Amino acid sequence: MKMYTKGGDKGKTSLIGGKRVNKGNLRVEAYGTTDEINSHVGLSICEVKKLKNSDTLVAELIEVQNYLFDCGTDLANVSDEMPFIITKEHIAWLEEKIDQHEEELPKIERFILPGGNEASCHLHVARTVTRRAERVVATLIKEEEEISSHAFKFLNRLSDYFFVVARVANHLGEEEEHFYERSQIVFH
């Protein structure tokens, strides 16, 4: 099998279900941004592996990568015949991981600045790209495109997850967190 098909040479691509759309289509932007998140997670894993006691977090992030492929598939799916992959169980899994990690971390009341060690920095980039993906999907929903509601909720939880695991990476690396100096108390 050749890697290239030449099918997109005129600026079109196929969605799941066979519909051809312009590569600048908002749906293509949504699943393309999800792919971008996945690449940032891969880069994050390279850095997380350098931290002590990081095996569990690495395994979790690899699971997230698989879920991101599923989420991208759902965002590309306009077929009436193919069911969506992301379910409420995926969202519950993320919520469970967020809760577990928050129990292990020092409590915070104020916003923290993205930073710390390289693993944390990469996870914060993944978080912000996830927020961008959410905005694209929200626009698709506003335009009344049929989008998997679970995929949208998954992205929303995923950005929270990346915030928490960026903190975990700093904690594993014994890196101090820096607080936004003009932040009011926002977390209770």
| Residue 67 identity | Y
Q: What is the pLDDT of residue 24?
A: 83
d(CA 168, CA 151): 25
Tell me if 111 sits within 8 A of 139, measured CB to CB: no
Q: What is the pLDDT of residue 104?
A: 95
Q: What is the pLDDT of residue 128?
A: 98
Q: What is the pLDDT of residue 33?
A: 97
Q: What is the pLDDT of residue 156?
A: 97
Which residues sit opposite 13 in a β-bridge?
21
Q: What is the pLDDT of residue 23?
A: 87
- 161: its two tokens: 């997850």
DSSP for 58-73 reads: HHHHHHHHHHHHHHHH
Q: What is the pLDDT of residue 6?
A: 75
pLDDT in tens, the chain (188 residues): 777 777 677 788 887 888 888 788 999 999 999 999 999 999 999 999 999 999 999 999 999 999 999 999 999 999 989 999 999 999 999 999 999 999 999 999 889 999 999 999 999 999 999 999 999 999 999 987 788 899 999 999 999 999 999 999 999 999 999 998 898 888 76
All domains in the chain, ordered by first residue: 38-76+84-172 (1.20.1200.10)
